[in-house]
């Protein structure tokens, strides 16, 4: 691991490992971004990919929520499409839409467009940002990548999809090609996360945001092997870096997300945290799961809902407080400040 400033606040890493903590750690998915006025100021116009490619700007944007909220972890300002963009697949991020692919993945020869990632030459700016951050932060930095299924969905559909119809058609209709595609995408995730860890990040999150579109049998057969290889290879580095596995609408997949090899499973707001813990057993930590839309409600409601999440964990080790999905752009940053205060001040009733 690259050397940086010492991580003075390791409560997040301890919780990921299921160790006792003196307070529950908290960070927010999409904590950097459009809910922050200081983000809009830094970001300006143009493609988000250009902003990510400027290390001094990406560093500052990553630090903004850490300063403002006092969260216990930073997450790199980047995006899940950065590796595929860097190898020239032809993807951009359209504001208000998300990732858009000019020539979607359709047939076997499209595999040639998914060459291996060489992080030092393809994404040097990302590594520079990570090194900058590690030198400045006194909380852990979370590395991340998109999981094979969620990436496949963007590449096959050509953009965001409600039904993932073309993706499932490929999965069921051409299973060999599907497996080859997911293999390439797993290689990209391993190379990308591995390089962020080499540069000094101290945990990682695999975002399989859209895995909830799959039935458990489909996930087990068509997705689990590729995601399992990611956790196995990154775990095989031997540096004990904790891995988080997250998806939305994945209540029926929680055990499988754990089986992929995660130390921490992200839980969305549709499942009570105590139910999630019961399904997952004592050896897996959980992350979540306040409804990001509930955060838009009056403070008394937000507080009640946040306390409910904490009470359902009942003071057990192995809980990282987060939202059930990313911060919505409409969110009042002041509410998130108060949520952090509330979580940090919480004591479980014995
Ligand atoms: O704070 C953080 O979480 C770190 C940065 C981060 C971004 N995207 C920044 C971003 C992370 C971890 C992601 C991951 C990501 N990107 C996921 C997985 C997480 C999830 O929400 O499920 C997904 C599915 C994407 C794809 C993507 N990129 C979407 C759906 C969008 C939103 C499009 C929109 O404008 O509504 C993006 C763009 C994006 N990624 C923004 C940010 C801050 C907004 C960019 C802008 O316009 O400035």
Which one of the listed residues 10, 14, 43, 208 is annotated catalytic?
Answer: 43
Pick the residue whose CA is nearest to atom 48 on ligand 1. Answer: 48
Which one of the listed residues 72, 79, 198, 208 is annotated catalytic?
Answer: 79
User: Hey, which residues does 320 pair with through a beta bridge?
Assistant: 287
Pick the residue whose CA is nearest to atom 17 on ligand 1. Answer: 80
Pick the residue whose CA is nearest to atom 25 on ligand 1. Answer: 80
CA separation for the pair 213, 150 (Å, rounded): 10
CA of residue 80 to ligand 1 center, whole Å: 8
CA of residue 326 to ligand 1 center, whole Å: 8
CA of residue 173 to ligand 1 center, whole Å: 30
The stretches of the chain forming alpha helices (DSSP H) are 11-16, 37-43, 48-52, 55-69, 82-86, 119-122, 124-136, 148-157, 165-173, 175-198, 216-222, 224-235, 254-259, 273-280, 299-313, 333-345
Summarised one tens digit per residue, pLDDT across range 13-51 is: 999 999 999 999 999 999 999 999 999 999 988 889 999
Q: What DSSP character marks residue 183?
A: H
Rounded to the nearest integer, the mean pLDDT of the chain is 96
pLDDT at 46: 81
Q: What is the mean pLDDT of each run of 10 residues along the chain (350 residues)?
A: 67 98 98 94 90 97 98 98 98 94 98 98 98 97 98 98 98 98 98 98 98 98 98 93 98 98 98 98 97 98 98 97 98 98 92
Pick the residue whose CA is nearest to atom 20 on ligand 1. Answer: 209
Nearest to 192 by CA among 287, 106, 114: 114
CA separation for the pair 237, 242 (Å, rounded): 11
pLDDT at 45: 83
CA of residue 350 to ligand 1 center, whole Å: 39
CA of residue 48 to ligand 1 center, whole Å: 9
Ligand 1 atom closest to 33 (CA): 43
The answer to whether 30 is a known catalytic residue is yes
22 phi and psi, to 5 degrees? -85, -10
Nearest to 223 by CA among 245, 197, 194, 195: 245
The answer to whether 79 is a known catalytic residue is yes
Which one of the listed residues 17, 34, 54, 115 is annotated catalytic?
Answer: 34
In contact, 273 and 289? CB cutoff 8 Å: yes
CA of residue 282 to ligand 1 center, whole Å: 31
The string of DSSP codes covering 248-288 is SS-GGGHHHHHHTT-SEEE--TTS-HHHHHHHH-TTSEEEE
pLDDT at 5: 62
Report the pocket of ligand 1 as residue ranges, CB < 6 Å: 29-34, 43, 48, 75, 77-80, 93, 95-99, 144, 207, 209, 326
In contact, 270 and 251? CB cutoff 8 Å: yes
Ligand 1 atom closest to 78 (CA): 5
CA separation for the pair 122, 49 (Å, rounded): 13
pLDDT at 47: 87
Ligand 1 atom closest to 207 (CA): 18
CA separation for the pair 250, 293 (Å, rounded): 18
Pick the residue whose CA is nearest to atom 43 on ligand 1. Answer: 33
Residue with tokens 């006792």: 20
CA separation for the pair 330, 295 (Å, rounded): 10
* Cβ-based burial of 208 (10 A; exposed 0-12, middle 13-18, buried ≥19): buried
The answer to whether 154 is a known catalytic residue is yes
Pick the residue whose CA is nearest to atom 35 on ligand 1. Answer: 96
């Amino acid at each position: 691991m690259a050397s940086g400033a010492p991580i003075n606040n390791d409560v997040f890493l301890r919780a990921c490992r299921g160790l006792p903590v003196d307070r529950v750690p908290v960070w927010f998915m999409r904590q950097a971004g459009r809910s922050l006025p200081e983000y809009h100021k830094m970001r300006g116009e143009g493609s988000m990919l250009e902003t990510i490619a400027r290390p001094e700007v990406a560093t500052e944007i990553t630090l903004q929520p850490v300063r403002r909220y006092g969260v216990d972890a930073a997450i790199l300002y980047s995006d899940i499409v950065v590796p595929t963009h860097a190898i020239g697949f032809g993807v951009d991020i359209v504001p208000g839409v998300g990732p858009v692919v000019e020539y979607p993945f359709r047939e076997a020869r499209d595999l040639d467009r998914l060459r291996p990632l060489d992080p030092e030459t393809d994404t040097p700016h990302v590594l520079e940002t990570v090194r900058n951050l590690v030198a400045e932060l006194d909380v852990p930095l979370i590395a991340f990548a998109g999981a094979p299924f969620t990436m496949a969905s963007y590449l096959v559909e050509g953009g965001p999809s409600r039904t993932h119809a073309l993706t499932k058609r490929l999965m069921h209709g051409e299973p060999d090609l599907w497996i080859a595609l997911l293999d390439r995408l797993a290689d990209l995730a391993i190379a990308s996360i591995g390089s962020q860890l080499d540069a000094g990040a101290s945990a990682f999150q695999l975002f399989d945001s859209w895995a909830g579109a799959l039935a458990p049998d489909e996930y087990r057969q068509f997705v689990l092997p590729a995601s399992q290889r990611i956790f196995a290879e990154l775990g095989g580095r031997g540096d004990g870096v904790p891995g988080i596995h997250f998806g939305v609408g994945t209540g029926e997949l929680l055990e499988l997300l754990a089986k992929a090899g995660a130390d921490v499973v992200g839980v969305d707001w549709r499942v009570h945290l105590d139910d999630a813990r019961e399904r997952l057993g004592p050896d897996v930590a959980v992350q979540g799961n306040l409804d990001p839309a509930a955060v838009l409600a009056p403070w008394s409601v937000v507080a009640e809902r946040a306390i409910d999440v904490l009470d359902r964990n009942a003071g057990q080790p192995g809980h990282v407080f987060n939202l059930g999905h990313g911060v919505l752009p409409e969110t009042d940053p002041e509410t998130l400040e108060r949520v952090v205060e509330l979580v940090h001040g919480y004591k479980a009733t014995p």
